[in-house]
Chain A
Amino acid sequence: MVEAVLDGLLRVLQPDALLYMLLGVFIGFWVGILPGIGGVTTLALMLPFVYGMEPVQAFAFLLGMHSVVATTGDLTSILFGIPGEGLSAALVLDGHAMAKKGEAGRALGANLMSSLVGALVGAAALALAIPVVRPLVLSFGSPELFMLTVMGIAFIASLSGRGARGLARGAAAGALGLLLSAVGQDPQAGILRYTFGQLYLWGGIDLVPAVVGFFAIPEILDLMVRRSSIAASGPTGKLVGVWEGVKDCFRHLGLTLRCSVIGAFIGIMPGLGGGVAQWMSYGHAVQSAKTAEERERFGKGDVRGVLGPGAANNSKEGGALIPTVAFGVPGSSAMAVLLGGFFLTGLVPGPDMLTKHLPVTYSMVWTLALANVVTVALCFPLLPYLARLTTIRATRLAPFLLLLVFVGAYTANNSWGDIVVALLFGALGYAMLRFRWPRAPLVLGLVLGDLAERYLWISVARYGWDWLGRPGVVVLAGLTLAVLVYPFLQEWRERRATQLLHREVAHAD
Chain B
Amino acid sequence: MRTEGKDRLGEVLFAAFLVAVGAGAVLYTGSWPVKAALYPRVVGSALVLASLACCVLAALDRGEKRAAPVELELGSDLPAPVVRARTLESLGWIGGFLVAGWLVGLIPAMVLLVLAYLRWVGRESWWFTGMFTVGTWAVLEGFMVRLLHLPIPTGVLASLAAR
Q: Which residues of A contact B (CB under 8 A)?
A: 30, 34, 37, 41-42, 45, 93, 97, 100, 159-166, 168-172, 174-176, 178-179, 182, 186, 188-189, 191, 193-194, 217-218, 221-222, 224-228, 296, 298-301, 393, 395-396, 398-400, 402-403, 406-407, 410-411, 414, 416, 419, 423, 430-431, 433-436, 438-440, 445, 449, 453, 456-457
Least distance between B26 CB and chain A CB atoms (Å): 9
Residues of A within 8 A of B87 (CB): 221, 225
The interface of chain B, by Cβ under 8 A from chain A, is: 7, 10-11, 14-15, 18, 21-22, 25, 28-29, 32-33, 35-36, 39-40, 43-44, 46-47, 50-51, 53-54, 57-58, 62-76, 78, 83, 86-87, 89-91, 93-94, 97-98, 101-102, 106, 110, 113-114, 117-118, 121-124, 132, 136, 140, 143-144, 148-153
By the criterion CB–CB under 8 Å, are A224 and B46 in contact? no
Give bound CA distance, A193 to B25, whole Å.
Answer: 9
B54 touches A398 (CB 8 A): no
Which A residues are in CB contact (< 8 Å) with B62?
164-165
| With known contacts A163-B66, A403-B110, A435–B136 Cβ distance under 8 A | no
- Contact (Cβ within 8 A) B97 A402: yes
Provide the bound-state CA to CA distance between A410 and B150, in Å.
Answer: 10
A226 to B33, CA, bound (A): 50
Residues of B within 8 Å of A440, CB to CB, are: 70
**Chain B residues with CB below 8 A from A178, complex form:** 43, 46-47
Q: Given A165-B62, A166-B66, A433-B74, does the pair A189, B124 have CB atoms closer than 8 Å?
A: no
Residues of A within 8 A of B65 (CB): 163
Q: Can you list 18 pairs linking A and B with CB atoms under 8 Å apart?
A: A161-B68, A165-B67, A166-B68, A169-B67, A172-B47, A175-B44, A179-B47, A186-B35, A191-B33, A221-B90, A399-B114, A407-B144, A411-B150, A416-B102, A434-B10, A436-B67, A436-B69, A457-B35
**Are A225 and B78 in touch, CB under 8 angstroms?**
yes
Query: Are A396 and B71 in touch, CB under 8 angstroms?
Result: no
Q: Which residues of A contact B76 (CB under 8 A)?
A: 225-226, 228
Residues from chain A with a CB closer than 8 A to the CB of B148 are: 37, 41-42, 45
Give, as a whole number of angstroms, the nearest-CB distance from B77 to chain A.
Answer: 9
What A residues does B14 contact at CB under 8 A? Answer: 431, 435
Among B32, B75, B86, B94, point to the contact of A193 (Cβ < 8 A): B32
Complex: chain B residue closest to A228, CB-CB: B76
Kindly list chain A residues whose C-beta atoms are within 8 Å of the C-beta of B32: 186, 189, 191, 193
Contact A172-B18, Cβ < 8 Å, known A395-B117, A414-B151: yes
Cβ contact within 8 Å between A299 and B83: no
Q: A165-B54, A189-B33, A221-B91 are in contact. Are A435 and B47 (CB under 8 A)?
A: no
Flag if B25 contacts A194 (CB, 8 Å).
Answer: yes
- In the docked arrangement, what's the CA distance between A343 and B100, Å? 44
With CB as the reference atom, state the residue of chain A lying closest to B112: A399
- Judging by beta carbons under 8 Å apart, are B68 and A396 in contact? no
Complex Cα spacing A179 to B113, Å: 35
> Contact: A182 with B54, CB < 8 Å?
no
The answer on a CB contact under 8 Å between A97 and B71 is yes
CB-nearest residue of chain B relative to A96? B72
The residues of A that contact B11 with a CB separation of less than 8 Å are 435
Q: Which residues of B contact A398 (CB under 8 A)?
A: 117, 121
Beyond A171-B53, A406-B98, A449-B43, 10 additional contacts (C-beta under 8 Å) are A161-B70, A164-B62, A166-B67, A166-B68, A171-B50, A172-B18, A224-B90, A224-B93, A224-B121, A436-B73
Which residues of the partner chain B approach A226 to less than 8 Å between Cβ atoms?
A: 76, 78
In the complex, A68→B32 CA distance in Å? Answer: 44
Q: How far is the CB of B55 from chain A (nearest CB, A)?
A: 9
Most buried by B among A163, A436, A457: A436
Least Cβ–Cβ distance between B155 and chain A, in angstroms? 11
Distance to closest chain B CB from A443 (angstroms): 12
The smallest C-beta distance from A283 to any residue of chain B, in angstroms, reads 13
| B12 CB, nearest partner CB in chain A, Å | 9
> Which of B65, B71, B91, B102 counts the most A-chain CB atoms under 10 A from its CB?
B71
Question: Chain B contacts of A228 at CB under 8 A?
Answer: 76
A163 contact set on B, CB distance < 8 A: 63, 65-67
* A161-B69, A166-B67, A172-B54 known; A225-B90 Cβ under 8 A: yes
Given contacts A161-B68, A182-B39, A393-B122, contact A176 B47 (CB under 8 A): yes
A193 to B43, CA, bound (A): 14
CB distance from B57 to the nearest CB of A (A): 5
Give min CB distance, A467 to chain B, whole Å: 17
In the complex, A176→B54 CA distance in Å? Answer: 13
Task: Please state if B122 and A396 are interface contacts (CB–CB under 8 Å).
Answer: yes
- In the complex, A236→B106 CA distance in Å? 37
> What is the bound-complex CA distance between A329 and B84, given in angstroms?
53
A165 touches B93 (CB 8 A): no
From residue A448, how far is it (CB to closest CB) to chain B in Å?
Answer: 11
Task: Provide the bound-state CA to CA distance between A1 and B11, in Å.
Answer: 62
A199 to B89, CA, bound (A): 33
| CB nearest to B132 among chain A residues | A396
Given A179-B22, A407-B144, A166 and B63 contact (CB-CB distance below 8 Å): yes
A417 to chain B: closest CB distance in Å? 12
For B75, what are the chain A residues with a Cβ–Cβ distance below 8 Å? Answer: 222
